[in-house]
Structures are given as structure tokens and as C-alpha cells.
């Protein structure tokens, strides 16, 4: 251990559109919605994460809630930097330190990110005391988190359905052989539900309600073996202006999400059609792995399996697969040196 190492703390960050997770000392110490609340008058960030999330849709004109990441990339650099800064400072073991420690970091980034955006992420990390910073592509981190040996000469397909993007990648020999990133994921599903309720039931609902509907009865198919109960949804009646409640079944939500899921299926099919034949043969045997929060949509695995004629597996704890993989890469920098971007 060098002198520098003595003052260094190691953290792995999954900087996601919907959620930011941080691993420190092998534990997930931060699991927070990627959202901040800013005072419009002073410009100061007044809340981050869960606290800011509670304010969403309920703010008055002096407070604005911002999601610093959009479509898998950083949309508001200042807000994202302040969010990362505050979340790192909230790590209990680091709070106790008298001097802020130097950080060795592995940060997970979407595979569609540009060079400029990559540099911006690194610069943000440097400003929060990052001294040794590595980046890792999201599908690669997901694959490592799922437990796939990414370095083997064997093809594996990963579909990571997050909040802003769905990333599809074929991985072999420690690299991404072919990939596709589409801006259809959890946020679009939520908007689909808002649109459906407005157009089919004249009911105006907010994002938080739509997200709850998605999680409670969201489905990718109208033919579930174990269907969830109907759910009551409250919002504002667009015709009368009065608060109103309607009962909704998972079948209606499946209808609302159908077009978006079709686009994800098409992207999977397109990636398969670009896969070199030897790797396609591997995928025939290994199947497709799903990760990310969107993969928890009921029946999505079955639907993709029927479309591709391949077995489809959902990662264990899919919301944490990416941060788990990022943490494993951090602990094994030497083993993953060819995968990490310096
Ligand atoms: N049970 C569930 N069913 C359907 N969707 C879910 C469920 N649980 C969480 N989600 C959705 O998963 C998304 C978040 O997933 P995840 O944390 O993997 O994304 P992210 O990493 O923040 O986003 P990105 O990868 O685009 O940067 C949100 O849109 C959330 O609503």
C-alpha cells in the first residue's frame, strides 16, 4: 500500500437517469433517486435524492425539481455535480473523516455517451476530489454484475432497461462487439401511462402516480399467468376539473405500453441481426440477460423470449446489477484494465 493509498477511499458509482447508487467498502451506501430541488431565487440546491423526490409535482414557484440526467446523459452539469457531491458526502464512513479523502472511483456511463460527455463526467468527478477515475460502460458493468465472465471468448447479450435508455449489447473478450442504445425505457413507460389515462379516461395524473401504477400493475403482455389486482388511480378529471378515481387493470397498462415495448423488441432484433455468426451461436446457447428497473415489468422476459425464440433471464436484483458490476471492477482494477476507460 502506497502513501497515497492511506488517504484514499474507493467508491463505485452508477450514475443513472432514474437512480444513483454508490458502493463503498463492498456495501451499497447510497441508493437514491437522481433528482435535486433548487431554490429559483438563490439558485441553491436545497434537497437531493429522496428528499427532493418527495417534492416532485408539489412545488411552488420558488422551488424547482430537476432530474440532472436525461435520456442517459447529463442534461444539467451543475445540478449533477452538486448531486454527486452531496451523495458522496452523505456516505456515513466518509462523513466521519476530518479531511475529505482522495477518491479512487469507477463510474458507470451509458454506452451511447460522447467523448465530450465522458470528459465532463470525469471533470465533475475530479472536482469532488476524485484522484484516480475510471469509467465503465453500462452494459459491461451490468454483465459483470450478473456474474458473466466477460473476458472469455464467448458471446453474451445484455439488455439493460433503465430509466432513460435501453442499452443492448453483445459482449465478448472483454469488449462490446455490437450494441444499440434506444431512448425508450422506464421514463417513456411512465409517460405512456400518463398519456393513456388522459386520452382513455380523461384523467390527468402526475408522474409519481404513473410510476406507482407502472410498478404495481405494469405489464408487457395482457396474458399474465399471475395477474395483479386492479388498482385505483386518483387524479384530476379533465372535463369537470374535480378530483376523480378510476379502477384500472394490468391489461389496460399492457395496452398503454405496447408501442414502446415493440420498439425495444425491434432494437433487440436489430442487434441480433448485426451479431457475428460465431457469437450468435453462443447466444443461442446462453440466451439473453435482462437488467435495470425496466426489466421488472411483468411478462417482459416472456415477451422478448417469444419474439427472439431465445431463453431470457432477469438478473438477480436488476436495479443493482450495474452498481454491483461497477463495484467488482473497482475491486479488480488489474483484471478489468482493458475494459475500464481511464
Ligand atoms: N417493478 C418495476 N416495474 C417496472 N419498472 C420499474 C420497477 N421498478 C423500477 N422500475 C423503473 O426502472 C427505472 C429505473 O431503473 P434503473 O435504476 O435501472 O435506471 P437508471 O440506471 O437510473 O437509468 P439509465 O440506465 O437510463 O441511466 C425507473 O423508470 C423505474 O420506474
Give the pLDDT confidence of 146-201 residue by residue, as tens digits. Answer: 999 998 999 999 999 999 999 999 999 988 999 999 999 999 999 999 999 999 99
Residues 40 and 137 both lie in one domain: yes
The domain total for the chain is 3
Kindly give the distance from the C-alpha atom of residue 232 to the centroid of ligand 1, in angstroms, as a whole number. 22
Residue range 21-46: mean pLDDT, rounded: 92
Q: Is residue 146 part of a domain?
A: no
Worst-scoring range by mean pLDDT, 102-106, 289-293, 304-308, 321-325? 102-106
Cβ-contact 260, 189 below 8 angstroms: yes
Kindly give the distance from the C-alpha atom of residue 185 to the centroid of ligand 1, in angstroms, as a whole number. 8
- Over residues 328-341, the pLDDT tens digits come to 999 999 999 888 99
Kindly give the distance from the C-alpha atom of residue 165 to the centroid of ligand 1, in angstroms, as a whole number. 10
- Over residues 283-318, the pLDDT tens digits come to 999 999 999 999 999 999 999 999 999 999 999 999
CATH value at residue 285: 3.30.420.40
Select from 109, 228, 294 the residue to mutate for testing ligand 1; criterion: most ligand atoms less than 8 Å from CB: 294
Q: What is the pLDDT of residue 4?
A: 53
Residues 86 and 210 both lie in one domain: no
Residues 104 and 201 both lie in one domain: no
Select from 111, 160, 186, 324 the residue to mutate for testing ligand 1; criterion: most ligand atoms less than 8 Å from CB: 186
- Over residues 114-132, the pLDDT tens digits come to 888 888 888 888 988 889 9
DSSP codes of every residue in 81-136: HHHHHHHHHT-HHHHT-SSPPEEEEEEEE-TT--HHHHHHHHHHHHHTTEEEEEEE
Q: Kindly tell me the number of DSSP H helices and DSSP E strands found in the chain.
A: 12, 18
Write out the residue range of the structural domain in which residue 172 sits. Answer: 151-184+261-317
Cβ-contact 133, 160 below 8 angstroms: no
Cβ-contact 153, 173 below 8 angstroms: yes
SS3 17: coil
Atom number in ligand 1 closest to CA 160: 25
d(CA 30, CA 12) in angstroms, rounded, equals 10
Q: Which of 156, 158, 173, 167 is nearest to 285 (CA)?
A: 156
SS3 330: helix
Question: Does ipTM top 0.95?
Answer: yes
Q: Is residue 341 part of a domain?
A: no
Q: What is the pLDDT of residue 6?
A: 60
Q: Is residue 340 part of a domain?
A: no
d(CA 66, CA 96) in angstroms, rounded, equals 29
Q: Give ligand 1 pocket residues (Cβ under 6 A).
A: 16-19, 72, 110, 138, 162-165, 185-187, 211, 214-215, 218, 292-294, 296-297, 319
Instruction: List residues bridging with 22 in a β-sheet.
Output: 13, 30
What's this model's pTM, rounded to 2 decimal places? 0.91
Amino acid at each position: 500500500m502506497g502513501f497515497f493509498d492511506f488517504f484514499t477511499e474507493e467508491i463505485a458509482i452508477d450514475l443513472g437517469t432514474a437512480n444513483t447508487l454508490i458502493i463503498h467498502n463492498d456495501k451499497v451506501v447510497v441508493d437514491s433517486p437522481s433528482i435535486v430541488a433548487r431554490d429559483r431565487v438563490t439558485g441553491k440546491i436545497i434537497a437531493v435524492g429522496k428528499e427532493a423526490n418527495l417534492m416532485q409535482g408539489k412545488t411552488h414557484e420558488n422551488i424547482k425539481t430537476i432530474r440532472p440526467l436525461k435520456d442517459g446523459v447529463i442534461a444539467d452539469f451543475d445540478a449533477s455535480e452538486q448531486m454527486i457531491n452531496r451523495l458522496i458526502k452523505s456516505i456515513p464512513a466518509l462523513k466521519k473523516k476530518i479531511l475529505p479523502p482522495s477518491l479512487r472511483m469507477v463510474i458507470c456511463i451509458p454506452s451511447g455517451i460522447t467523448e465530450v460527455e465522458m470528459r465532463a463526467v470525469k471533470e465533475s468527478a475530479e472536482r469532488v476530489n476524485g484522484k484516480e477515475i475510471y469509467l465503465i460502460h453500462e452494459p459491461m458493468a451490468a454483465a459483470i454484475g450478473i456474474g458473466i465472465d466477460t473476458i472469455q471468448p464467448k458471446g453474451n447479450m445484455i439488455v439493460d432497461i433503465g430509466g432513460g435508455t435501453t442499452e443492448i449489447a453483445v459482449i465478448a473478450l472483454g469488449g462490446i462487439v455490437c450494441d444499440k442504445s434506444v431512448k425508450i425505457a422506464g421514463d417513456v413507460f411512465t409517460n405512456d401511462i400518463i398519456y393513456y389515462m388522459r386520452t382513455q379516461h380523461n384523467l390527468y395524473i402526475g408522474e409519481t402516480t404513473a410510476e406507482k401504477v407502472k410498478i404495481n400493475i405494469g405489464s408487457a403482455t395482457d396474458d399474465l399467468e399471475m395477474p395483479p389486482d386492479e388498482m385505483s388511480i386518483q387524479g384530476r378529471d379533465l372535463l369537470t376539473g374535480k378530483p376523480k378515481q378510476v379502477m384500472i387493470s394490468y391489461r389496460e397498462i399492457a395496452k398503454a405500453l405496447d408501442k414502446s415495448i415493440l420498439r425495444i423488441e425491434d432494437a433487440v432484433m436489430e442487434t441480433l441481426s448485426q451479431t457475428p455468426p460465431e457469437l450468435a451461436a453462443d447466444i443461442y446457447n446462453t440466451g439473453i440477460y435482462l437488467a435495470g428497473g425496466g426489466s421488472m415489468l411483468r411478462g417482459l422476459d416472456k415477451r422478448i423470449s417469444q419474439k427472439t425464440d431465445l431463453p431470457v433471464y432477469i438478473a438477480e436484483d436488476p436495479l443493482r446489477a450495474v452498481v454491483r458490476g461497477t463495484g467488482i471492477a473497482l475491486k479488480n482494477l488489474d483484471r478489468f484494465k482493458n475494459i475500464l476507460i481511464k
